[in-house]
Amino acid sequence: MESKESKSFLKSIISLIGPGLITAAVVMGPGSITASSQAGATMGYSLLWAVALAGFMMIVFTRMGSTIGIMSKDSFLGTVTEKYGRIVAILIGVSGFLITTGFQTGNNIGVGLAFSAMFGGSVGIWASIFTIIAMVFLWSSSSIYNMLEKLMTVMVFIMIVTFFGNLFMIRPNGVELVKGFIPSKPEAFGLVVSISATTFSVAAAAFQTYIVRSKGWTKNDLSDGLKSSTIGIVILGLISMVIMITSATVLKPAGITVKSAVDMAMQLEPLLGPLAKWMFLFGLWSAAFSSFIVNAMIGGTFLADGLGLGKELDSKWSKIFASGVMILGTLASILFGKNPIQLLILAQGTTIFGVPLISTVMLLLSNNKDLMKEYKNKMFINIVSVLSIVWLLYLSYRQLMSFLK
């Protein structure tokens, strides 16, 4: 029989990694899985550096988000309003809303792809069904955070076991794998944008401020908050890399370029054989639905807080705007979903536009002596943060140019 001490230890571990797992689960949506799978299938191991770089930047900004959330007396955008004015807060609120709508489109497509492959029917129909289910969850729960923490922990664990288990059944090319961590000019820059957008999600990093506040953490919990942030993003980065490695090892030699969810499922055949399709589709659904509610809550809370209408995850206006994110994401997947795989990649790429503003404001807050006190950014973190913002601006420029062609 399990002892009280072991149960208490397990509970404390789950409590520690909970916020980080939620951030990881939000970012590890179907866009991450699809972009990593397509990158591995078409370009082998050559984009592993992009995942590693984006993951490192995400760790830095998620840790900043945790620190800002713990040190601030007000919410993130409440603090932004106090320091830089309501207009800046509104701009960030709108940016967060639009970014999460792009991700939500990907979530809808991921759900639709999984269930249409398993049971038939169109992507749009299944996306609509699960949007309704998600909205029921959203409006019926009196404690969004507690419900999400349990849901994300289970679903992320399932993804970890499946993809890491598969890694032991294949034989990656060690030399080429190591070369993949050396930056090189990519054949398709759009995939670099999508990988960066899905792994280095600044909106999710900023939302960490709300998550740690919802747990009631104080300065005494700062160490645990930073550990949680780091653990979640390390998990995210490792899963993305494993998916890319398995795709490069299994799909690329077979000439499979990933045009459907079933194509992606073939990367799990070394471990699961005939069950690969079903397990992968369940994993794709899990990735999509696990971030369905949280992603929408990010956009809803950002917009509500930016407009000064509500700053808590459970506030009425946060839920109203979160519902708007869900509905708009569903409409986009229905109206523009003729080529769902490419739309999914594009939806993730478009989210890159709003992140330079959010990341810049996070950096400014992290260097505010009155707010951060002894936890003000160190020089190394500032250098990494500035380089990260420059990278985001470059990606935004490249993405804009690709749209104008």
Stretch 37-57: mean pLDDT, rounded?
89
Region for residue 327 given its phi and psi (left: phi exceeds 0; alpha: psi -120 to 50; beta: otherwise): alpha
* Confidence class for position 27, pLDDT limits 50, 70, 90: low
Q: How far apart are CA 54 and CA 248, in angstroms?
A: 19
Name the nearest CA neighbour of 201 among 281, 327, 291: 291
> What pLDDT shows up at residue 386?
94
The more confidently predicted of residues 47 and 286 is: 47
> What pLDDT shows up at residue 93?
92
The more confidently predicted of residues 344 and 227 is: 227
The more confidently predicted of residues 119 and 8 is: 119
> What pLDDT shows up at residue 25?
59
> What pLDDT shows up at residue 80?
93
Residues 300-325: tens digit of each pLDDT: 999 999 999 988 877 889 899 999 99
Q: Which of 22-26, 289-293, 353-357 has the highest mean pLDDT?
A: 353-357
Could you give the angle at the alpha carbon of 262 between the alpha carbons of 46 and 199, nearest 5°? Answer: 40
Q: What percent of the chain has pLDDT over 90?
A: 18
Residues 62-83: tens digit of each pLDDT: 889 988 988 888 889 999 999 9
* Confidence class for position 1, pLDDT limits 50, 70, 90: very low
Tokens 């603090």 belong to residue: 79
Q: Which of 168-182, 280-294, 337-351 has the lowest mean pLDDT?
A: 337-351
Is 266 in contact with 276 (CB distance < 8 Å)?
Answer: yes
Residues 136-164: tens digit of each pLDDT: 878 876 566 566 656 666 666 676 777 77
Average pLDDT score over the chain: 80
Question: What pTM was computed for the model?
Answer: 0.80
The b/e string for 158-185 (b: 16+ C-beta within 10 A; e otherwise) is bbbebbeebbeeeebeeeebeebbeeee
Helix (H) or strand (E) holding 308: none
Stretch 345-355: mean pLDDT, rounded?
63
The more confidently predicted of residues 2 and 127 is: 127
Name the nearest CA neighbour of 58 among 259, 199, 211: 199
Q: How far apart are CA 363 and CA 261, in angstroms?
A: 38
Stretch 205-212: mean pLDDT, rounded?
85
Report the CATH number of the 18-404 domain. 1.20.1740.10
DSSP, collapsed to helix, strand or coil, labels residue 11 as: helix
Q: What percent of the chain has pLDDT over 70?
A: 83
Is 233 in contact with 244 (CB distance < 8 Å)?
Answer: no
Cα–Cα distance list, 115 to 34, 157, 217, 289 (Å): 16, 21, 39, 12
Q: How far apart are CA 125 and CA 115, in angstroms?
A: 10
Q: How far apart are CA 382 and CA 150, in angstroms?
A: 34
SS3 track for 189-225: HHHHHHHHHHHCCHHHHHHHHHHHHHCCCCHHHHHHH
Is 333 in contact with 127 (CB distance < 8 Å)?
Answer: yes
Is 173 in contact with 70 (CB distance < 8 Å)?
Answer: no
The more confidently predicted of residues 180 and 354 is: 180
Residue spans of the domains in the chain: they are: 18-404
The more confidently predicted of residues 354 and 55 is: 55
